[in-house]
């Protein structure tokens, strides 16, 4: 059976702003399925907004093609693309009522007055603002204004809704409430959502799939759990969730070929200044590369999630030494109570250039014997450490 045609398709799309050296978006390929909630996640300046603006039709592409249902759309002006758009700043018309703002896209489309009334009522009900129809935007809270912007983007029943950091201006509690609203709307309407954010928690909470952007390119595209559990590189590991990383070199070719049983390989690496080696998993592709080049010359990084680290030794911290674990001496720098967990900051021995590592310990009684300055042993399984 042929794969279903994607609703939206970027094929080799680039954007070079006049006068800029580096492309803002660099040969982007991305297919988005109908009904999908996809987030474009990445640091500031990585090309997320530019990608969205090219899709919306507010920025021309420099190269490549964007297709909607298989048809190239570069020649179509924004209003002919039938996309709803919500920006970070609410961009409501201040002199119009809430109802007037929501009615605007319908008036632009020359919908009859009776139908406009009905659709505006429905759209405001969808975002739970029925009773606010006659207010001005200035008489609403930030969250309510953003819901008006959402209603305005949804009122003409677009096939796709594009959102660019729509919640960035809201405080944390309101932002989390609005995330639930956006999830509910996506569920109820089944509309395709393309959502831009620099907030990895937000992207993980909302999306079916997340595209991680870095310097105009997608580093990795996948379901939230996939990005977290199987990052393809140090950038994604560090951007999606907390990550500890040190650089080192592969210790020898013989260590490269231990299979993990789930498609990966275990390699041993040495870290400058630290005695002995530590083991971590690497992809088949990297293992193949390591087998080709003289392995010890190959610089790599070792990456471990903070919740995968265990405190094995040290003043009464407990934990049984375990044959399968990497052992790494460290010195406690700080121990911070975060309510639902403890954050232990520890400087790992040898990796002099490295920032202190973060260890997440379960909540409960304060871990004993972890005062700043205490020598401890950190342990982690090779399967839980990524070598990139
Ligand atoms: P993001 O939304 O991920 O923060 P942008 O798409 O806004 O990233 O920007 C990507 C790159 O393009 C940045 O280097 C930015 O400075 C540049 N850029 C964005 N908009 C313009 C513009 N209108 N003119 C020139 N350069 C721009
Ligand atoms: Mg942006």
The domain that holds 91 is classified in CATH as: 3.40.50.300
Position 3 in a domain:
no
Grade residue 59 by pLDDT with cuts at 50, 70 and 90. Answer: very high
Are residues 337 and 370 both part of a single domain? Answer: yes
Domain termination residue (choose one: 205, 229, 253): 229
Share of the chain above pLDDT 90, in %: 68
**Which pLDDT value is given to residue 257?**
65
Distance in Å, CA 53 to ligand 2 centroid? 10
**Size of the chain, expressed as the number of residues it contains:** 388
Are residues 209 and 322 both part of a single domain? Answer: no
CATH (domain of 342): 2.40.50
Are residues 56 and 203 both part of a single domain? Answer: yes
**Which pLDDT value is given to residue 32?**
98
Q: Which two tokens stand for residue 102?
A: 């929501």
Residue labelled with tokens 């630290």:
274
Are residues 101 and 156 both part of a single domain? Answer: yes
Q: Which residues sit with Cβ closer than 5 angstroms to ligand 2, an ion?
A: 49
Contact between residue 293 and residue 274 where contact means Cβ atoms under 8 Å apart:
no
**3-class secondary structure, 16:** coil
**Which pLDDT value is given to residue 228?**
95
**Which pLDDT value is given to residue 316?**
40
**Which pLDDT value is given to residue 250?**
84
pLDDT in tens, 21-55: 899 999 999 999 999 999 999 999 999 999 999 99
- The arithmetic mean of pLDDT across residues 331-339, rounded, is 94
Determine how many CB atoms are found less than 10 A away from the CB of residue 197: 25
Are residues 325 and 258 both part of a single domain? Answer: no
Instruction: Report which DSSP code applies to 315.
Output: T
Are residues 57 and 69 both part of a single domain? Answer: yes
**Which pLDDT value is given to residue 314?**
54
pLDDT in tens, 74-112: 999 998 899 999 987 768 999 999 999 999 999 999 999
- The arithmetic mean of pLDDT across residues 119-125, rounded, is 96
Mutating to test ligand 1, I would choose from 22, 45, 199, 216 the residue with most ligand atoms within 8 A of its C-beta, which is: 45
As for ligand 1, residues whose beta carbon falls within 6 Å of it are 17, 20, 24, 42, 44-50
CA–CA gap between residue 69 and residue 349 (Å, rounded): 55
Distance in Å, CA 45 to ligand 1 centroid? 5
Q: What are phi and psi of 348, to 5 degrees?
A: -80, 145
Are residues 59 and 188 both part of a single domain? Answer: yes
Q: Which of 48-52, 157-161, 179-183, 293-297 comes out lowest in average pLDDT?
A: 293-297
Grade residue 319 by pLDDT with cuts at 50, 70 and 90. Answer: very low
With b meaning 16 or more CB within 10 Å and e meaning fewer, what string describes 98-126?
bbbbbbbbbeeeebeeeebeebbeebbeb
Mutating to test ligand 1, I would choose from 15, 20, 42 the residue with most ligand atoms within 8 A of its C-beta, which is: 20
| pLDDT, the chain, mean | 90
Are residues 128 and 255 both part of a single domain? Answer: no
Contact between residue 297 and residue 286 where contact means Cβ atoms under 8 Å apart:
no
Domain termination residue (choose one: 192, 210, 229): 229
Grade residue 297 by pLDDT with cuts at 50, 70 and 90. Answer: confident
Structural domain boundaries, residue 172? 8-229
Q: Which two tokens stand for residue 306?
A: 């903070």
Counting the structural domains of the chain, the total is 3
For the CA of 44, the nearest atom of ligand 1:
4
Position 372 in a domain:
yes
- The arithmetic mean of pLDDT across residues 194-203, rounded, is 97
Instruction: Report which DSSP code applies to 278.
Output: E
Position 341 in a domain:
yes
Sign of CA dihedral 267, 269, 275, 278: negative
Are residues 316 and 293 both part of a single domain? Answer: no
List own/partner pairs for 272-278 with CB under 8 A and 24 or more apart: 272/248, 272/350, 272/351, 272/352, 273/349, 273/350, 273/351, 273/352, 274/328, 274/348, 274/349, 274/350, 274/351, 275/350, 277/251, 278/248, 278/302, 278/326, 278/328, 278/382, 278/385
Position 387 in a domain:
no
Contact between residue 227 and residue 210 where contact means Cβ atoms under 8 Å apart:
yes
Mutating to test ligand 1, I would choose from 21, 50, 56 the residue with most ligand atoms within 8 A of its C-beta, which is: 50
Q: Is the pTM of this model over 0.75?
A: yes
**Which pLDDT value is given to residue 283?**
86
Domain termination residue (choose one: 248, 276, 304): 304
Position 2 in a domain:
no
**Which pLDDT value is given to residue 253?**
67
Give CA 244 to chain center in angstroms: 18
Are residues 210 and 116 both part of a single domain? Answer: yes
Position 360 in a domain:
yes
Are residues 331 and 373 both part of a single domain? Answer: yes
**Which pLDDT value is given to residue 313?**
67
- Strand extents, DSSP E, 69-197: 71-72, 83-86, 160-164, 192-197
Are residues 370 and 248 both part of a single domain? Answer: no
Determine how many CB atoms are found less than 10 A away from the CB of residue 315: 13
Position 109 in a domain:
yes
């Amino acid at each position: 059976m042929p794969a279903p045609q994607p609703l939206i398709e970027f094929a080799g799309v680039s954007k070079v702003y006049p006068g800029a050296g580096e492309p803002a978006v660099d040969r982007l390929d991305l297919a988005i399925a109908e009904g999908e909630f996809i987030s474009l996640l990445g640091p500031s300046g990585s090309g997320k907004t530019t990608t969205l603006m090219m899709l919306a039709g507010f920025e021309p592409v420099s190269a490549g093609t964007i297709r909607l249902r298989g048809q190239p759309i570069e020649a179509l002006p924004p209003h002919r693309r039938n996309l709803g758009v919500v920006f970070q700043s609410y961009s409501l018309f201040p002199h119009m009522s809430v109802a007037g703002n929501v009615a605007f896209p319908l008036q632009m489309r020359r919908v009859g007055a009776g139908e406009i009334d009905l659709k505006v009522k429905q759209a405001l009900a969808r975002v739970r603002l029925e009773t606010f129809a006659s207010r001005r935007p200035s008489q609403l809270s930030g969250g309510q204004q953003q819901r008006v912007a959402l209603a305005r983007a949804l009122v003409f029943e677009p096939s796709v809704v594009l959102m660019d950091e729509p919640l960035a201006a809201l405080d944390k509690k309101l932002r989390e409430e609005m995330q639930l609203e956006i999830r509910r709307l996506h569920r109820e309407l089944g509309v395709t959502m393309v959502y831009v954010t620099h907030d990895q928690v937000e992207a993980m909470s909302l999306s079916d799939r997340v595209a991680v952007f870095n310097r105009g390119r997608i580093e990795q595209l996948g379901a939230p759990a996939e990005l977290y559990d199987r990052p393809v590189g140090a950038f994604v590991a560090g951007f999606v969730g907390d990550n500890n990383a040190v650089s080192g070199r592969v210790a020898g070719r013989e260590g490269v070929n231990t299979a993990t049983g789930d498609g990966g390989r275990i390699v041993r690496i040495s870290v400058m200044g630290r005695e002995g080696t530590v083991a971590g998993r690497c992809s088949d592709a990297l293992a193949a590369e390591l087998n080709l080049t003289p392995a010890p010359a190959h610089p790599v990084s070792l990456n471990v999630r903070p919740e995968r680290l265990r405190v094995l030794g040290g003043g009464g911290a407990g934990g049984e030494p375990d044959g399968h674990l990497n052992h790494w001496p460290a010195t406690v720098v700080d121990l911070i109570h975060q309510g639902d967990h403890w954050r232990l900051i520890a400087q790992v021995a040898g990796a002099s250039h490295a920032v202190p590592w973060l260890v997440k310990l379960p909540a409960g009684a304060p871990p004993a014997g972890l005062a700043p300055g205490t020598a401890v042993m950190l342990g982690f399984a090779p399967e839980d450490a990524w070598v990139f």
